[in-house]
Amino acid sequence: MTVPASAGRAGLGLNMARTPTSTADPALDAAALLRRIGFFTLFVVVPVAAQVSRRATVVLAPITIVLLIIASAIDRKNRAPGASVGRLIRSPAFAAGMLVIGWSALSLAWTPFPGPATERLANLIATLGLTLAGYLALPDRMRSANLYLLPLGVGAAAIVAILIGLFGDAMRREAGDADGALERGAVLLAVLAWPAVAWLRSRRRDTGALATALLVAGALLLAPGLTPLLALGVGALTFGLTTYRQNLGVRITALAAALLLALAPLLPFLLRPIASLILGSTAPSSISLKIWQKLVTSEPLRLITGHGFETSLRGRFVNLLPINAPTTMLFELWFELGIVGALAAAFALYVSIHRTGRQVSLLAPGAIAAFATAFTIGCIGVGLTAIWWLTSLAIAVLAFVAIEQGQFRASRPKASLLPKLPG
């Protein structure tokens, strides 16, 4: 029996239609899944968990960065590490930052606490190294779906913080360390609010950006302590100024931060009379400023070398430093590292803010506001090398880098309905 040619061709076409044509790569799918889990954990789980657990940021952030590194190792969608590291090494801010690290390592020779200081310095270097690895692992082109997780996570964390603020007594019974977590969670919210706002504004979602900022402000209003709320307010002022006149906002923020770091030993002489007049001479702030002033005048040579890394924290427990001495970044930087560390840190901060201000204009106001917010928190209520604080800053840095690498589709070319005529 002869089969017609048409039937043979039909059967061949049917067989060809049944032939699978999918070119999906399981490895690439696995990398995309790992990256999605990593960003979901970093942008959603970490901010929410930080509201109820003091250790959530320190424990979860490294895990998420490792997931991002594994994903990039599989699909190779990150930028060339050599070029990225080369640009970083050639930057003046990186050189100044390495001077701060090197001087901290050298100060181990004269610190009264070499053991704890060495351990803290190792943790600091490990945190910076992990942040650098996360930066190099970010894909060259970020997917919008991953970046929208950031405002989602910030909003969810703000709602959790509001619920804890309103119904704290009932919810704290479920979380044993909620008291300390609320303060750290509020700080993380204040810092992450600005990359979330910057991303939404870059996508022309101004209403969502405003709603996110107001939601975070409401959460910080109910949080214990005024430091995160005050820092968010300073960031908002900086955001408004930079949006109105970007160059002016960048210059004022960079100059103010650098001068405060460089001239910090003069602050107790300027602020103590004001604090005594407004708060009284027996107020804790006035007493702290008096102690700082006395330390500056009694040990002027220590302004050059500093007392050594980790001295500010440990010295309070052995009567080397009064227990009610200042606990701010400005005091600790000068007390531990002296003029070398302070001026190097001031220069690094100045150059970093200026360089950030030259980036994409839509992201610049949010980035400068984040600088102002973080610097205000450091000046008021957070020490120099608390690991949870450094990890919070690392998350904010990775968020801004990811947002910057997600701007490649900020605008689409206009489609023409008319055919192009020849000639």
Show me where the domains of the chain are located.
26-404
* Alpha-carbon gap, residue 173 to 185, rounded angstroms: 18
For residue 139, list its beta bridge partners: 78
* Alpha-carbon gap, residue 269 to 51, rounded angstroms: 38
The predicted pLDDT at position 408 comes to 63
**Could you tell me the end-to-end alpha-carbon distance of the chain, in angstroms, rounded to an integer?**
60
* Alpha-carbon gap, residue 71 to 171, rounded angstroms: 37
* Alpha-carbon gap, residue 288 to 269, rounded angstroms: 12
Beta-carbon-side half-sphere exposure of residue 311 (alpha carbons within 13 Å): 23
The predicted pLDDT at position 417 comes to 39
Check if the beta carbon of residue 356 is closer than 8 Å to that of residue 364. yes
The predicted pLDDT at position 17 comes to 46
* Alpha-carbon gap, residue 68 to 395, rounded angstroms: 13
The predicted pLDDT at position 23 comes to 57
Give CA angle at 65 (61, 69), nearest 5°: 170
Is the Cα dihedral 218, 221, 223, 226 positive or negative? Answer: positive
C-alpha radius of gyration, the chain, whole number: 26
For the record, the structure tokens of 310 come out as 């980790």
For the record, the structure tokens of 182 come out as 């609320």
Backbone dihedral angles phi then psi of residue 24, each to the nearest 5 degrees: -65, 135
* Alpha-carbon gap, residue 227 to 189, rounded angstroms: 12
The predicted pLDDT at position 422 comes to 45
Q: Give residue 196's region: left, alpha or beta (phi > 0; psi -120 to 50).
A: alpha
Please, is 86 exposed, middle or buried when counting C-beta atoms within 10 Å of its C-beta (0-12, 13-18, 19+)? Answer: exposed
* Alpha-carbon gap, residue 195 to 198, rounded angstroms: 5
* Alpha-carbon gap, residue 322 to 152, rounded angstroms: 44
* Alpha-carbon gap, residue 335 to 245, rounded angstroms: 36
Tokens 């606990």, located at residue = 327
Check if the beta carbon of residue 195 is closer than 8 Å to that of residue 360. no
280 contact partners, CB below 8 Å, separation of at least 6 = 286
List the chain pLDDT tens, one digit each, 423 residues. Answer: 454 555 444 444 444 444 444 456 788 888 889 999 999 999 999 999 999 888 889 999 999 999 999 999 998 887 777 777 888 888 899 999 999 999 999 999 999 999 999 999 999 999 999 999 999 999 888 889 999 999 999 999 999 999 998 887 555 545 445 556 788 899 999 999 999 999 999 999 999 999 999 999 999 999 888 899 999 999 999 999 999 999 999 999 999 999 999 999 999 999 988 888 888 888 888 888 999 999 888 888 888 989 999 898 888 888 888 888 888 899 999 999 999 999 999 999 999 999 888 776 789 999 999 999 999 999 987 777 788 999 999 999 999 999 988 886 544 444 443 444 444
The predicted pLDDT at position 284 comes to 85
294 contact partners, CB below 8 Å, separation of at least 6 = none
SS3 78: strand
The predicted pLDDT at position 258 comes to 95
Beta strands in 280-340 (DSSP E): none
Check if the beta carbon of residue 364 is closer than 8 Å to that of residue 242. yes
The predicted pLDDT at position 96 comes to 94
For the record, the structure tokens of 203 come out as 């996508």
Tokens 């500056």, located at residue = 296
The predicted pLDDT at position 419 comes to 44
Query: Which own/partner pairs from 88-93 qualify as long-range (CB within 8 Å, at least 24 positions apart)?
Result: 88/132, 91/351, 91/355, 92/347, 92/348, 92/351, 93/347, 93/348, 93/351, 93/352, 93/355
